[in-house]
Amino acid sequence: MSAIFNTSTRENPEFVVSATELLQSMFRAIIIISGVIYAVWHILATMFGSGSVGAQVWLGTGLFLLTWVPAFKLYERHYLAAQIIWQAGLTLTITFYLVAFQAANIAFYYALLPLMVVVTVDGFAGVLSEGMVVILVGWLSRSGWVPTLTSDLALVTATGGAIIGLVGWAASRTLFTATQWSLNSLDQARKNMEEARQHRAQLARVFKDLDQAYYRLERANAELLVSRKTAEDAERFKAEIVAIVSHELRTPLNLIVGFSEMMVASPESYGDVNLPGHYRSDLNAIYRSAQHMLALVDDILDMTRIEVGKIALTREMEDLGTLIAEATAIVKDYIAVKGLELVIRVPPDLPSLWIDRLRIRQVLLNLLVNAARFTEQGSIAVTVSRRDEEILVQVTDTGHGIAEKDRARIFEEFYTTGKSHSPQTGGSGLGLPISKKFVELHGGRMGVESTAGQGSTFYFALPISAESVQPFLPTRRTPAQWRGAERMVIVVNDDPHTATLLQRYLEGYQVIAVPTHAEAIALADQVKALAVVSDLGEPIADRSQALWVNCSLPSARATAAALGASDLLVKPIVRQDLIAAIERLGRPVRRVLLTDDDPEVVRLYQRMLSPIVSIEDCLEAFNGEEAWQLLREEKPDLIILDLMMPEMDGYALLKKKNADPELVGIPVIIASAKSQDLISFRLPGPIQFSRADGFQMGETVRVLESAFKVLAASWHPQNDAASPIPGAAPVA
């Protein structure tokens, strides 16, 4: 129980008592249930089994009772001794039946031992139990006592014990966390009641505090019920986990992307150290893969923030050969380590495709990794060809193949073929269904051809659109290349992430970002843009024939200003973005205060700033109180601030700094993984449409109809009056 009773929880006697009683209750329930199940099995086995089987069952029952009775009597007074007797007795009983009946499937009961230990003791004891199971089944499979217990069955038993133990650990941790939350809420309520007794003269205020405390307690209980319901509801639980994991991934990704980017793009910051060529190649692979993971994390966060009924595609004219080269470069080392040959056949005259390069690269990576995982020898081939009005991509391997009964379900979610040739061939059953959906979003198709024992060919076909038959255009196109390629929308905004967001969800349009009205007017006339979207005041409509849309747009810098800072960067941060934010300050920076609760992140910032600020001039603070003391004593030229820190968070530090006349002028750049949710803000101001030559009545009616369809979801009629319910208050 040491993993549960850590330093902080030992200081809470109520939690220790509650947790101990909970463990004893679970152990008692396990003993009783096991006894009932065994008694039923004993009766059935002795009634319907032969004479020899009955004798063996009686002997096994004696062993079980020698375990069950002492464990049941000792668990309240000598909990650890009862656990040892219970585990040892069960192990001996299972081993007896395994040897007596020579039935290898009895070994699967070993997998339950780690689960019992994890939920009734702690994770460390579960690891010890799992180790005992691994040693025991390994010895039995080699000793010859149970000839039917093969190495594969022993491996499955050991693996099953580990998996079941992990599931039990996760469940028990959640249960004890809920218990601790409940006790904390109860402790808070008691403190509020004590304050009420000590301040009788302030009865009205105390009554209000008690009412608020009761509300918080009720709210905490309601949240616990909602959390439990969410845990039972698989879909909602999955959505919550996706959001949490995606957010938490930003902290390690900040270090991976930051340090690898510094090593790849700025090796001079490490002095005269020259890395070997193969090191640089591996660093480039790490950097590319980290960037790919970051893009996926951003997509997951966008999907959880914006209620869109589909995954939006960011389409560009892409050279499929280049995309295949990028995907194979990521996995070529993995394929080479397995001793497999990688063959790529891409004709040179392929047309470009109007696709989302991130999604199609993810499809390629899924197919290549799957082929490598299920292929032990031979080769993996990527073949591209043109078939009528589509491009066909085939990934062929010489692996185990897929049985006919599995091929019909291979693209179902969470479905796997059940093959376990090695520990590396397991999967969640999501890669292929997700890949198929990505291909179908492009208007394509995906399938498989396979023969068991001879290999498989997974293929997908993408349509050649009208734009695709044009010569390949690079991502950074000139206005002459833009003109006529697609419907253009120009966004006047100083935050490039705003244009990226609009590009993702305005399917069928090409979004271009410019910082000023003058550039927007010039570019709109040059490329014959459909519309200009601006939040920088009234447009000069007589200078352009494009449709002008004036509305508020989310901006990181505007959010930073609302918090009292100069700029806002979202982790993971690359060196170019940090340097650009400092340059936008327009003032010399000689000393910088770096604040973050992770020392490695502070070291990364020092490395990024080394060309402009020496390490000696980089002040370090790992919590809010340290940062406040250094800020008052040293008065640096710039603060790089993390919002989530112990003792005093970044919000409180900003408030105190801006309230001090001597410190208010020091600029602050916010750098945080938990940045403001720009998408969920209710943006102020109207949405205005204007055009130099005006609108026809039919156009006006269609615009109103479209607006009503979009905005009617926030209107609900009252029973007593035909008036809309006010919307939720904006996030502040």
Phi-psi region of 553 (alpha: psi -120 to 50; beta: other; left: phi over 0): beta
Q: Which helix (H) or strand (E) holds 463?
A: strand 455-463
pTM > 0.75: yes or no: no
What is the structure's pLDDT at 384? 94
Q: ∠ at Cα 431 (379, 381), nearest 5°?
A: 20
The token duo for 561 is: 């200003």
What is the four-CA torsion angle of 337, 342, 348, 354, rounded to 10 degrees? -70
Distance CA 553, CA 502 (A): 10
What is the structure's pLDDT at 236? 56
Residue of 600, 577, 598, 592 lying closest to 640 (CA atoms): 592
Q: In what order do the strands lie in the sheet with 592-595?
A: 567-570, 668-672, 638-641, 592-595, 618-621
Q: What is the mean pLDDT of each run of 10 residues along the chain (732 residues)?
A: 47 67 77 82 75 73 82 80 82 80 77 78 77 80 76 78 77 71 71 70 75 83 75 58 61 74 70 68 76 66 46 76 90 86 90 86 89 89 90 92 82 62 45 82 89 89 65 40 62 76 73 83 82 72 73 76 83 82 89 89 86 88 91 92 85 90 91 58 73 84 84 56 37 30
3-state SS, one letter per residue, for 364-398 = HHHHHHHHHHCCCCCEEEEEEEEECCEEEEEEEEC
The token duo for 521 is: 């007017």
CA 361: distance to chain centroid?
19
572 prior amide bond cis, ω within 30: yes
Given CATH 3.30.565.10, say whether it is the number of domain 320-469.
yes
What is the structure's pLDDT at 597? 85
The token duo for 201 is: 């003269």
Residue of 673, 663, 725 lying closest to 252 (CA atoms): 673
What is the structure's pLDDT at 354? 85
Q: ∠ at Cα 188 (182, 191), nearest 5°?
A: 145
What is the structure's pLDDT at 306? 40
What is the structure's pLDDT at 248? 65
Determine contact, residues 458/367, Cβ cutoff 8 Å.
Answer: yes
What is the structure's pLDDT at 447? 92
Residues of the chain with CATH 3.30.565.10: 320-469
